[in-house]
A and B are shown apart, each in its own frame.
Chain A
Amino acid sequence: MTNETIQQKIQDKFGASVTGFEEPYGMLTFEIAADKNIELLQYLYDEPDLAFRFLTDVTVVHYPDDKGRELAVVYHLHNLVDNIRFRFKCFIDIENPEINTATVLFESANWQEREAYDFYGVIFKGHPNLKRIMNVEEMDYFPMRKEFPLEDQSRTDKDDEMFGRGGSVI
Protein backbone atom coordinates (compact mmCIF):
# COMPACT_ATOMS: atom_id res chain seq x y z
CA MET A 1 0.00 0.00 0.00
CA THR A 2 1.46 3.32 -1.07
CA ASN A 3 0.28 6.91 -0.93
CA GLU A 4 -0.82 6.63 -4.55
CA THR A 5 -3.05 3.61 -3.96
CA ILE A 6 -4.61 5.21 -0.88
CA GLN A 7 -5.27 8.40 -2.83
CA GLN A 8 -6.77 6.37 -5.71
CA LYS A 9 -9.13 4.46 -3.42
CA ILE A 10 -10.31 7.58 -1.61
CA GLN A 11 -10.83 9.48 -4.84
CA ASP A 12 -12.81 6.58 -6.33
CA LYS A 13 -15.07 6.52 -3.31
CA PHE A 14 -15.54 10.22 -2.53
CA GLY A 15 -14.97 11.87 -5.92
CA ALA A 16 -15.18 15.65 -5.80
CA SER A 17 -15.49 15.89 -1.99
CA VAL A 18 -11.77 15.27 -1.59
CA THR A 19 -9.31 17.84 -2.88
CA GLY A 20 -5.82 19.22 -2.41
CA PHE A 21 -3.75 16.04 -2.28
CA GLU A 22 -0.14 16.69 -1.36
CA GLU A 23 2.73 14.87 0.30
CA PRO A 24 4.71 17.18 2.58
CA TYR A 25 7.68 15.20 3.92
CA GLY A 26 6.22 12.07 2.35
CA MET A 27 3.01 12.09 4.38
CA LEU A 28 -0.21 11.98 2.39
CA THR A 29 -2.41 14.98 3.18
CA PHE A 30 -5.71 16.06 1.72
CA GLU A 31 -8.87 17.96 2.39
CA ILE A 32 -12.43 16.69 2.55
CA ALA A 33 -15.79 18.43 2.91
CA ALA A 34 -16.55 18.88 6.62
CA ASP A 35 -19.82 16.93 6.53
CA LYS A 36 -18.07 13.85 5.09
CA ASN A 37 -15.54 13.37 7.89
CA ILE A 38 -17.24 10.46 9.68
CA GLU A 39 -18.16 8.76 6.42
CA LEU A 40 -14.50 8.85 5.42
CA LEU A 41 -13.27 7.61 8.82
CA GLN A 42 -15.77 4.75 8.66
CA TYR A 43 -14.70 3.82 5.15
CA LEU A 44 -11.04 3.86 6.10
CA TYR A 45 -11.78 1.73 9.14
CA ASP A 46 -13.91 -0.88 7.40
CA GLU A 47 -12.07 -1.26 4.11
CA PRO A 48 -9.82 -4.32 4.63
CA ASP A 49 -7.13 -3.02 2.24
CA LEU A 50 -6.83 0.26 4.12
CA ALA A 51 -7.66 -0.60 7.76
CA PHE A 52 -6.76 2.74 9.31
CA ARG A 53 -7.97 1.74 12.75
CA PHE A 54 -5.92 3.98 15.00
CA LEU A 55 -6.79 7.63 15.40
CA THR A 56 -3.46 9.18 16.41
CA ASP A 57 -4.63 12.74 16.84
CA VAL A 58 -7.45 15.19 16.36
CA THR A 59 -6.33 18.76 16.34
CA VAL A 60 -7.23 22.16 14.94
CA VAL A 61 -5.42 24.96 13.12
CA HIS A 62 -6.68 28.52 12.99
CA TYR A 63 -6.20 30.50 9.75
CA PRO A 64 -7.74 33.89 10.57
CA ASP A 65 -7.25 35.30 7.05
CA ASP A 66 -9.02 32.47 5.25
CA LYS A 67 -12.58 33.80 5.42
CA GLY A 68 -15.31 31.17 5.75
CA ARG A 69 -12.81 28.37 6.37
CA GLU A 70 -10.88 29.67 9.34
CA LEU A 71 -10.66 26.49 11.38
CA ALA A 72 -9.05 23.34 9.99
CA VAL A 73 -9.86 20.20 11.95
CA VAL A 74 -7.00 17.77 11.32
CA TYR A 75 -7.29 14.00 11.73
CA HIS A 76 -4.18 11.85 11.89
CA LEU A 77 -4.64 8.17 11.15
CA HIS A 78 -2.38 5.18 11.42
CA ASN A 79 -2.53 1.73 9.90
CA LEU A 80 -0.89 -0.42 12.55
CA VAL A 81 -0.45 -3.46 10.28
CA ASP A 82 1.43 -1.77 7.45
CA ASN A 83 2.72 1.12 9.58
CA ILE A 84 1.38 3.83 7.29
CA ARG A 85 0.17 7.21 8.46
CA PHE A 86 -1.69 10.04 6.78
CA ARG A 87 -3.74 13.06 7.68
CA PHE A 88 -6.79 14.83 6.34
CA LYS A 89 -8.32 18.20 7.10
CA CYS A 90 -11.85 19.57 7.26
CA PHE A 91 -12.19 23.34 6.99
CA ILE A 92 -15.07 24.98 8.85
CA ASP A 93 -16.38 28.49 9.36
CA ILE A 94 -15.43 30.14 12.66
CA GLU A 95 -18.90 31.71 12.87
CA ASN A 96 -20.46 28.25 12.91
CA PRO A 97 -17.69 25.94 14.14
CA GLU A 98 -19.54 22.64 14.04
CA ILE A 99 -18.44 19.23 12.85
CA ASN A 100 -19.60 15.68 13.56
CA THR A 101 -17.88 13.87 16.39
CA ALA A 102 -15.53 10.96 15.77
CA THR A 103 -16.44 9.39 19.12
CA VAL A 104 -19.03 7.26 17.30
CA LEU A 105 -16.08 5.37 15.84
CA PHE A 106 -13.08 5.95 18.14
CA GLU A 107 -13.38 6.14 21.92
CA SER A 108 -10.03 7.88 21.97
CA ALA A 109 -11.52 10.84 20.14
CA ASN A 110 -13.38 11.78 23.31
CA TRP A 111 -10.54 13.62 25.05
CA GLN A 112 -8.90 14.75 21.82
CA GLU A 113 -12.08 16.50 20.77
CA ARG A 114 -12.55 17.98 24.23
CA GLU A 115 -9.05 19.44 23.94
CA ALA A 116 -9.82 20.80 20.47
CA TYR A 117 -12.96 22.38 21.88
CA ASP A 118 -11.09 23.75 24.87
CA PHE A 119 -8.47 25.57 22.80
CA TYR A 120 -10.30 26.43 19.57
CA GLY A 121 -14.01 26.25 20.37
CA VAL A 122 -14.88 23.67 17.75
CA ILE A 123 -18.29 22.15 18.55
CA PHE A 124 -18.23 18.42 17.93
CA LYS A 125 -21.87 17.52 17.32
CA GLY A 126 -22.91 14.38 19.20
CA HIS A 127 -19.94 14.37 21.58
CA PRO A 128 -21.04 12.77 24.89
CA ASN A 129 -19.25 15.21 27.21
CA LEU A 130 -18.05 18.31 25.41
CA LYS A 131 -16.55 20.50 28.12
CA ARG A 132 -13.15 21.99 28.90
CA ILE A 133 -10.43 19.48 29.69
CA MET A 134 -7.16 21.39 30.20
CA ASN A 135 -8.03 24.95 31.13
CA VAL A 136 -9.92 26.31 34.12
CA GLU A 137 -13.64 25.89 33.67
CA GLU A 138 -14.31 29.59 34.23
CA MET A 139 -12.31 30.50 31.14
CA ASP A 140 -14.60 32.36 28.75
CA TYR A 141 -12.52 32.31 25.57
CA PHE A 142 -10.60 29.88 23.41
CA PRO A 143 -6.95 30.75 24.01
CA MET A 144 -5.30 29.23 20.95
CA ARG A 145 -7.32 31.28 18.49
CA LYS A 146 -5.05 33.81 16.85
CA GLU A 147 -6.88 36.90 18.08
CA PHE A 148 -5.77 36.19 21.64
CA PRO A 149 -2.15 37.08 22.44
CA LEU A 150 -0.15 34.37 24.16
CA GLU A 151 0.74 36.55 27.12
CA ASP A 152 -1.60 36.81 30.06
CA GLN A 153 -3.64 39.98 29.54
CA SER A 154 -4.81 40.08 33.16
CA ARG A 155 -1.43 41.28 34.44
CA THR A 156 -1.32 44.81 35.77
CA ASP A 157 2.31 44.93 36.88
CA LYS A 158 3.79 44.41 33.44
CA ASP A 159 5.78 47.37 32.18
CA ASP A 160 6.22 47.25 28.42
CA GLU A 161 9.39 49.32 28.65
CA MET A 162 11.06 46.47 30.47
CA PHE A 163 10.39 44.20 27.51
CA GLY A 164 11.80 46.63 24.95
CA ARG A 165 8.52 47.40 23.24
CA GLY A 166 6.28 50.45 23.39
CA GLY A 167 6.49 52.74 26.39
CA SER A 168 8.57 55.90 26.31
CA VAL A 169 11.74 54.15 25.11
CA ILE A 170 11.83 53.80 21.34
Chain B
Amino acid sequence: MARPVRFNIHPKQTDIHDNIAIAEMPDGLNGEGYFATNLEKVVALGRKNSLWPLPFATSCCGIEFMATAAATYDLARFGAERMAFTPRQCDLLMVMGTIAKKMAPIVRQVYMQMAEPRWVMAVGACASSGGIFDTYSVLQGIDQVVPVDVYVPGCPPRPEAILDGFMRIQELAGHESLRRRNSEHYKKLMGSYGIQ
Protein backbone atom coordinates (compact mmCIF):
# COMPACT_ATOMS: atom_id res chain seq x y z
CA MET B 1 0.00 0.00 0.00
CA ALA B 2 1.34 3.35 -0.92
CA ARG B 3 2.16 5.69 1.90
CA PRO B 4 0.07 8.84 2.05
CA VAL B 5 1.82 11.95 0.91
CA ARG B 6 1.96 14.61 3.55
CA PHE B 7 1.82 18.24 2.72
CA ASN B 8 2.91 21.06 4.91
CA ILE B 9 -0.49 22.67 5.00
CA HIS B 10 0.31 25.05 7.83
CA PRO B 11 3.55 26.65 6.72
CA LYS B 12 5.22 28.89 9.24
CA GLN B 13 5.84 32.38 8.01
CA THR B 14 9.48 33.31 8.27
CA ASP B 15 10.19 36.16 10.58
CA ILE B 16 13.01 38.18 9.14
CA HIS B 17 12.32 41.27 11.14
CA ASP B 18 15.35 41.95 13.43
CA ASN B 19 16.37 38.38 12.84
CA ILE B 20 19.19 38.68 10.31
CA ALA B 21 22.73 39.61 11.19
CA ILE B 22 23.75 42.66 9.21
CA ALA B 23 27.29 43.96 9.31
CA GLU B 24 27.62 47.31 10.96
CA MET B 25 28.04 50.29 8.69
CA PRO B 26 31.45 51.93 8.98
CA ASP B 27 31.78 55.52 10.15
CA GLY B 28 31.26 58.06 7.42
CA LEU B 29 29.33 60.97 6.09
CA ASN B 30 25.74 60.13 5.51
CA GLY B 31 23.12 62.11 3.67
CA GLU B 32 20.28 62.07 1.21
CA GLY B 33 21.33 59.56 -1.46
CA TYR B 34 25.00 59.37 -0.63
CA PHE B 35 27.36 57.83 1.87
CA ALA B 36 31.03 58.68 2.05
CA THR B 37 33.68 56.79 3.97
CA ASN B 38 37.26 55.80 3.31
CA LEU B 39 38.22 52.93 1.06
CA GLU B 40 40.08 51.09 3.80
CA LYS B 41 36.93 50.70 5.85
CA VAL B 42 34.90 49.41 2.91
CA VAL B 43 37.57 46.89 1.99
CA ALA B 44 37.88 45.84 5.63
CA LEU B 45 34.11 45.39 5.82
CA GLY B 46 34.19 43.13 2.80
CA ARG B 47 37.16 41.11 3.93
CA LYS B 48 35.93 40.70 7.45
CA ASN B 49 32.53 39.36 6.56
CA SER B 50 33.46 36.97 3.81
CA LEU B 51 36.55 35.16 4.98
CA TRP B 52 37.01 31.93 3.10
CA PRO B 53 38.51 29.33 5.40
CA LEU B 54 40.82 26.56 4.31
CA PRO B 55 40.39 23.82 6.92
CA PHE B 56 43.64 21.94 7.42
CA ALA B 57 42.31 19.33 9.80
CA THR B 58 44.53 16.47 10.89
CA SER B 59 42.90 15.17 14.08
CA CYS B 60 40.31 15.65 16.81
CA CYS B 61 40.27 19.47 16.57
CA GLY B 62 39.08 18.89 13.01
CA ILE B 63 36.05 17.06 14.38
CA GLU B 64 35.26 20.08 16.57
CA PHE B 65 35.59 22.23 13.49
CA MET B 66 33.05 20.05 11.67
CA ALA B 67 30.64 20.76 14.53
CA THR B 68 31.49 24.44 14.27
CA ALA B 69 30.66 24.48 10.60
CA ALA B 70 27.47 22.45 11.02
CA ALA B 71 23.99 23.72 11.87
CA THR B 72 24.19 24.12 15.66
CA TYR B 73 27.15 26.47 15.75
CA ASP B 74 26.95 27.53 12.12
CA LEU B 75 30.13 29.23 11.05
CA ALA B 76 28.15 30.56 8.09
CA ARG B 77 26.70 33.24 10.36
CA PHE B 78 30.10 34.91 10.14
CA GLY B 79 30.23 34.85 6.38
CA ALA B 80 32.53 31.86 6.34
CA GLU B 81 30.37 29.11 4.94
CA ARG B 82 32.48 28.82 1.87
CA MET B 83 35.13 26.24 2.79
CA ALA B 84 37.57 25.68 0.02
CA PHE B 85 40.30 23.15 -0.31
CA THR B 86 42.25 25.14 -2.79
CA PRO B 87 44.68 27.49 -1.07
CA ARG B 88 44.70 30.02 -3.89
CA GLN B 89 41.10 31.06 -3.19
CA CYS B 90 41.27 31.19 0.58
CA ASP B 91 41.95 33.92 3.10
CA LEU B 92 42.18 31.98 6.32
CA LEU B 93 44.26 28.89 6.95
CA MET B 94 42.81 27.01 9.91
CA VAL B 95 45.32 24.44 11.11
CA MET B 96 43.54 22.01 13.39
CA GLY B 97 45.40 19.12 14.88
CA THR B 98 48.80 17.61 15.42
CA ILE B 99 51.29 18.49 12.72
CA ALA B 100 54.06 15.92 12.46
CA LYS B 101 57.46 17.13 11.36
CA LYS B 102 56.93 15.26 8.12
CA MET B 103 53.74 17.31 7.55
CA ALA B 104 55.41 20.67 8.26
CA PRO B 105 56.60 21.33 4.68
CA ILE B 106 53.05 20.70 3.43
CA VAL B 107 51.55 23.26 5.84
CA ARG B 108 54.19 25.70 4.69
CA GLN B 109 53.53 25.00 1.04
CA VAL B 110 49.78 25.47 1.50
CA TYR B 111 50.46 28.78 3.24
CA MET B 112 52.76 29.94 0.46
CA GLN B 113 50.14 29.09 -2.16
CA MET B 114 47.57 31.35 -0.51
CA ALA B 115 47.20 34.83 -1.93
CA GLU B 116 47.59 37.93 0.22
CA PRO B 117 45.94 38.98 2.41
CA ARG B 118 46.02 35.74 4.35
CA TRP B 119 45.50 34.87 7.98
CA VAL B 120 46.43 31.80 9.97
CA MET B 121 44.64 30.34 12.94
CA ALA B 122 46.24 27.60 15.07
CA VAL B 123 43.38 25.65 16.61
CA GLY B 124 44.11 23.52 19.64
CA ALA B 125 47.11 22.76 21.79
CA CYS B 126 48.90 20.63 19.18
CA ALA B 127 48.85 23.18 16.40
CA SER B 128 49.78 25.94 18.85
CA SER B 129 52.60 24.26 20.74
CA GLY B 130 52.83 20.55 19.98
CA GLY B 131 50.48 19.90 22.91
CA ILE B 132 51.05 16.66 24.75
CA PHE B 133 53.18 15.38 21.89
CA ASP B 134 56.50 16.67 23.13
CA THR B 135 58.42 14.18 21.04
CA TYR B 136 60.92 13.79 18.23
CA SER B 137 58.33 13.37 15.51
CA VAL B 138 55.90 16.23 16.16
CA LEU B 139 56.28 19.86 15.18
CA GLN B 140 56.28 21.96 18.35
CA GLY B 141 53.72 24.48 17.13
CA ILE B 142 53.04 25.53 13.55
CA ASP B 143 54.53 28.97 14.28
CA GLN B 144 57.86 27.30 13.59
CA VAL B 145 57.01 27.16 9.90
CA VAL B 146 54.30 29.78 9.27
CA PRO B 147 53.34 33.03 11.06
CA VAL B 148 50.19 32.60 13.16
CA ASP B 149 47.62 35.33 13.82
CA VAL B 150 45.35 33.70 16.38
CA TYR B 151 45.91 30.75 18.71
CA VAL B 152 42.87 28.92 20.02
CA PRO B 153 43.64 27.03 23.24
CA GLY B 154 42.00 23.76 24.21
CA CYS B 155 42.46 20.06 23.70
CA PRO B 156 40.35 20.08 21.67
CA PRO B 157 38.72 23.52 21.90
CA ARG B 158 34.95 23.64 21.99
CA PRO B 159 33.17 25.04 18.93
CA GLU B 160 32.52 28.24 20.89
CA ALA B 161 36.27 28.67 21.30
CA ILE B 162 36.83 28.16 17.58
CA LEU B 163 34.12 30.74 16.87
CA ASP B 164 35.80 33.11 19.31
CA GLY B 165 39.09 32.61 17.50
CA PHE B 166 37.34 33.22 14.22
CA MET B 167 35.82 36.45 15.51
CA ARG B 168 39.28 37.58 16.57
CA ILE B 169 40.49 36.92 13.04
CA GLN B 170 37.56 39.03 11.84
CA GLU B 171 38.66 41.73 14.25
CA LEU B 172 42.17 41.63 12.79
CA ALA B 173 40.88 41.66 9.23
CA GLY B 174 38.50 44.49 10.03
CA HIS B 175 41.18 46.74 11.49
CA GLU B 176 44.06 45.95 9.18
CA SER B 177 45.64 48.79 7.31
CA LEU B 178 45.65 48.37 3.54
CA ARG B 179 49.35 49.13 3.58
CA ARG B 180 50.26 46.52 6.15
CA ARG B 181 51.09 43.75 3.67
CA ASN B 182 53.49 46.03 1.84
CA SER B 183 55.21 47.33 4.93
CA GLU B 184 58.84 46.70 5.83
CA HIS B 185 57.71 45.20 9.10
CA TYR B 186 55.59 42.61 7.31
CA LYS B 187 58.32 41.80 4.82
CA LYS B 188 60.69 41.26 7.71
CA LEU B 189 58.22 38.93 9.36
CA MET B 190 57.89 36.89 6.16
CA GLY B 191 61.65 36.96 5.73
CA SER B 192 62.09 35.48 9.20
CA TYR B 193 60.13 32.46 7.96
CA GLY B 194 62.05 32.35 4.69
CA ILE B 195 58.91 33.22 2.69
CA GLN B 196 59.18 35.84 -0.05
Q: Report the interface size class on chain A.
A: 10 to 19
- Find out whether the CB atom of B140 lies under 8 angstroms from the CB atom of A152: yes
CB of B101 within 8 A of CB of A150, answer no
Whether the pair B102, A135 counts as a contact (CB closer than 8 A) is yes
Residues of B within 8 A of A139 (CB): 136
A151 at the interface (CB under 8 A from B): yes
Is A151 within 8 A of B134, CB to CB?
yes
- Return chain B residues, CB-CB under 8 Å to A136: 101-102
Residue A106 CB within 8 A of the other chain: no
- Bits for A138-157, please: 1 = Cβ < 8 Å to B, else 0: 01000100001011101101
Contacts of B182 in A (CB 8 A): none
Within 8 Å of chain A (Cβ to Cβ): is B130?
yes
**Chain A residue nearest in CB terms to B129:** A157
CB distance from A161 to the nearest CB of B (A): 15
Are the C-beta atoms of A135 and B137 separated by less than 8 Å? yes
Interfacial residues of chain A within 116-144, with CB under 8 A of chain B in the complex = 134-136, 139, 143
Distance in angstroms between the alpha carbons of A101 and B129 in the assembled complex: 40
A150/B135 in contact, CB under 8 A: yes
> Which listed residue, A134, A152, A157, touches B138 by the CB 8 Å rule?
A152
**A40 to nearest B CB, angstroms?**
33
Pick the contact of B135 from A134, A152, A157, A158 — CB < 8 Å?
A152
Interface flags, B127-155, vs A, CB<8A=1, else 0: 00110001111101000000000000000
Contact between A151 and B137 (Cβ–Cβ < 8 Å)? no
CB distance from B96 to the nearest CB of A (A): 21
Interchain CA distance A60-B63 in the complex, whole Å: 36
User: What is the CB-to-nearest-CB distance from B179 to chain A, in angstroms, rounded to a whole number?
Assistant: 32
The majority secondary structure among interface residues of chain A is: loop
Chain B residues with CB under 8 Å of A150's CB are 134-136
Q: B101: nearest residue on chain A (CB-CB)?
A: A136
Residues in A whose Cβ lies below 8 Å from that of B102:
135-136
Q: Which residue of B lies closest to A149 (CB)?
A: B136
Q: Beyond A135-B102, A136-B101, A136-B102, is A148–B140 a contact (Cβ under 8 Å)?
A: no
Residue of B nearest to A156 (CB): B140
CB of B156, distance to nearest CB on chain A (Å): 21
Instruction: Choose from A134, A148, A152 the contact partner of B134 (Cβ within 8 Å).
Output: A152
Residue of A nearest to B133 (CB): A152
Partner of A143, one of B129, B130, B134, B137: B137
CB of A155, distance to nearest CB on chain B (Å): 5
**Bound-complex Cα distance A157 to B128 (A):** 12
Q: Is the CB of B140 within 8 A of A155?
A: yes
Which A residues are closer than 8 A to B by beta carbons?
Answer: 134-136, 139, 143, 148, 150-152, 154-155, 157-158
Query: Which B residues lie at the A interface, using CB under 8 A?
Result: 101-102, 129-130, 134-138, 140
Q: Would you list the 5 A-B pairs with minimal beta carbon distance, nearest first?
A: A143-B136, A151-B134, A136-B101, A136-B102, A155-B140
List 16 extra interface pairs beyond A134-B137, A150-B134, A157-B140, CB under 8 A. Answer: A135-B102, A135-B137, A136-B101, A139-B136, A143-B136, A148-B136, A150-B135, A151-B134, A151-B135, A152-B134, A152-B138, A152-B140, A154-B140, A155-B130, A155-B134, A155-B140
